Structure 1
């Protein structure tokens, strides 16, 4: 049985109450060499609760208002439910309250996370090597909640001398199947193992794991390098994070992302993404329980060119009829080229199915206005959903000025009213900063 894979984990007693300026490595070394304890050996991994590092590094601050401390540490709100906030903090960690902790600290103060947990772990590792002559790994831990799972667990927020990730991609499983996505979060698994013996209120802030020396990097300097990148390597890049936002925050982010794009790349547009945006569009409010929206998707270059050529010819004829010079006409036509530059076009249409007819023109006009407003709400939903799919768009009104031409070219029913055209694609350049608008300037209270 002795050759079966196994490890041992124990909490390290004897760590005193930590104060600002204390040398954590020396405190651990003293506790580990106490009589009756197994000491530390090469290949051991230490799990160190971040709280004692915060205290030693002077990260205890006065804060009668804990919310203000959270504001100072947070860089982005991910989700909010009442007073609870899940935020991204300055370390890139997504967690409740930015890691600001009001427990195990005097009243009127809060604990902030260590300034640089990876650097803190490197100092402890170096200090133990200098004091005890051992090559150990160090993991700095903190408590996290997790999406879709009840309960808390410790995870790694800092590390030194530990291979924090075990990348199995490119290998095969026991059945010979290729492993294409398996990257094991070794440092988080170590943190959770240590937490089982440390506990949350037992006064045992350090745990030792023995028997897993293969996760400890060889002895050398403690600068981040291959195999020892620190816990920062566990933070998923924003571009790869499919669950970056909470529900309401995702909506607000998508609304913010929705910008008019006038220059597109040649990248093809996923028709599935556009159809998902249409599904969002048709959830807009509408009068009389109607569905006044229709979306014509121009997915082929031929259909787009045929429509835009016919619209251009009709527009030029109208401008000449209005007495514009050829130079002025050419300039106006060039301004409308945004639709030609897009790899995908959508023509939203209004239908009046289900509308009411009244005996006087005023009420009939108001009835149409209700349907037009509903159409606009549907298009706004559509644009926001496109932004959520990371697609740029530009809603251009030109089809409204030649509806008969559009209906004829696209073979649409006579009662479909084109409500502009939406250019869709990936933005070729980043949009300029949106002008800041004070919402209060648009509000009237009675």
Structure 2
């Protein structure tokens, strides 16, 4: 098979309203099965997507539906077509000062219209790929990718085939349109003034129908393991963390909990200590024994209080049902090994508080990490009211102080949307 990639030279500067198909048709000679690869800049110019904007950031805001990652002034965002790219594709290069160029409003529609026009003018069977320049998450350097297509299957699915050694291919799906875009960019270049290339020799890829365009190239959110930048993922996990009080019966992956514990123990602590221990209740029998013993101890304590009849006690102890209904429990414990011994009660109390704060920071890390693993959680304080009982049932050392219990599991329903809290309401500046 012979493959040629040919630049289409001699195209004039494209202005708004230009008949782009006619310009391209006149600039070259085409054959059946040719694939025309067209940089999005000239498509945008022909469609009047040039914007007079002194503030490029405002133009990026207008084109953005979701910020994926941000570092300094650089933003990786998703635009309304689902494309994840730097600055939403808003480009200030190759345009007059004080203007920016936006991507085509619907690149697939642009590719379909351009293909139809070119086929009418040339009488040839053609495909069209509209491209733009992207960075890549794991590699340096830029390359062109397809953002619009017509007359071409943008993906080639090799799954179910065998390789040259007879091995079954189970994962391989080739991004054909992106490969064409990158190959064409070798003759188009970034500053050569050649915005169109012809890829010749792959006529078998050209389809009679326009096809689905580039939509199949956009990974669905549910399958995107890298949907957010690091800091954005952390902020979203913190924002999405909710107290979950109803769980499904799906078992919890113990490895996921251990990963969450690994995040928990990065919390700050006084005197270079490690004042946390996490007791993982993976046995249903152990959970039941603990909760039954805690319930009995709680009832005994409440009966000693004035005005607490059995009905009131039942209502109060029912709050612990979230622990009983969860498929997994974690009991975080505070260990004050390494604390300083102060004879002054005030300093001794402060020392204890320092360690308690560290325990709280560790539990917060745990809860956020569990959210990142897809689990819901509820931090319930009940073990703090019967620490001796908990230590006895779980056979814990005397110096381990249970700091509540964390129920873990898949949420049975979507948490209610919580209104955003204005941080300024909690800030005092001196």
Band of TM-score, shorter chain: over 0.9
Residue 225 of structure 1 is matched in structure 2 by none
Distance 1:398 1:18 in 2: 71
RMSD: 1.2
Any stretches of 5+ residues in structure 1 without a counterpart? 33-38, 223-227
The Cα offsets for residues 132-174 of structure 1, whole Å up to 9 and x where unpaired, read as 2222111110001111211110000111111111111122111
Residue 21 of structure 2 is matched in structure 1 by 25
Residue 79 of structure 1 is matched in structure 2 by 69
Residue 366 of structure 1 is matched in structure 2 by 350
Distance 2:203 2:117 in 1: 19
**Aligned with 1:339: secondary structure?**
helix
The CA deviation at 1:200 is 0.9
Moved over 3 A (4+): none
1:47-62 equivalences under 5 Å are 47-62=37-52
1:2-401 equivalences under 5 Å are 5-32=1-28, 39-217=29-207, 219-220=208-209, 222=210, 228-322=211-305, 323-401=307-385
Distance 2:115 2:285 in 1: 65
Distance 1:266 1:23 in 2: 61
The CA deviation at 1:42 is 2.0
TM superposition score normalised by structure 2: 0.97
TM superposition score normalised by structure 1: 0.94
* Matched positions, count: 429
The Cα offsets for residues 175-222 of structure 1, whole Å up to 9 and x where unpaired, read as 1112111111110000001100011111111111010112211x24x3
The Cα offsets for residues 53-99 of structure 1, whole Å up to 9 and x where unpaired, read as 11111111121010111111112222222111111222111111110
Is the CA contact 1:101–1:111 (under 8 Å) kept in the aligned structure 2?
yes
Distance 2:327 2:30 in 1: 63
**Aligned with 1:340: secondary structure?**
helix
The CA deviation at 1:329 is 2.0
The CA deviation at 1:241 is 1.4
Any stretches of 5+ residues in structure 2 without a counterpart? none
**Aligned with 2:226: secondary structure?**
coil
